[in-house]
Structure 1
Amino acid sequence: MDTIDLLERCYPGRRAELKRDILRRALACFNEQGIEATTIEMIRAACDTSVGAIYHHFGNKEGLVAALFFAALDDQAGLRERYMSDAQTLEQGVQALVHSYVDWVDAQPEWARFQFQARYAVAKGPFAEELASRNKARNRQLREWLAGPTP
């Protein structure tokens, strides 16, 4: 698996350094304290930045949770696509799906833990429609692969 940090893949470049730092610290806070118990003030203190910087980049706590969740989802989907691109048969496709998920969880345990606990909050919160749209797009790609090439 790629050695570049997940956040560097999602938010590349020097201009995104503060955003990545906020996300890294927020991920640690959410995994240590839980999503509900973690406050913006706790994240601000961990980042040694201003509340305004956090709100500027993410809008609110729900936006921060969603940004982390979607970064994990996109990274996981990217690995799945790479594995699926080599699959030629249905059996290989199923193996690619399973192996990509297991390999991602193994390589990203903190992200997997967060993704598991945040799924409900994102699915029931203000980013529910975005999650549904992203899931629909990801599942469309999988359905297209399963359908095979069009004659």
Structure 2
Amino acid sequence: MAKEEEIRSTQHGVFWDDLAEDLQDPEFLRHYVVESIRISTIDQIVNALDEARDAADLSKAALARAISAEPAVVRRLFSSKHVNPTLGTLAEVAAALGMRVTLEPLPTADRKSVTEPLLEGRSADTCALAKHLGELRSTKNRSRVAA
């Protein structure tokens, strides 16, 4: 078993090393940062909306009726691993749940580690950037955002 863990650890290390090298390319860096933030943001919003739906004891079908959408739209929103809802859909669902979608500034650490590399197309420490973005993209593994 220890050998398997060592192999996985080595492979994981190789992945991060390769990613850090790929992030040296300004175009790749920009695409990777944008995609990571997109995934993290959508996950946080969808998780908060689903938690609010559960708290309201509202079925997905009832929520779909409330926003005049097909039930499949709401089912996909809360069930699919690869969602890319429109802002309009998120706003409608939020309104039906007594909420609204708002913008907030990134924490200072994220602005430094995410925004600056995005604007400049480079990062002084691509290994740290890769790991930070990986953590942001893992929002499904975190506890849900409070509704």
More relative contact order, 1 or 2 (CA 8 Å, 6+ apart): 2
* TM-score relative to the length of structure 2: 0.26
* TM-score relative to the length of structure 1: 0.26
Higher helix share: 1
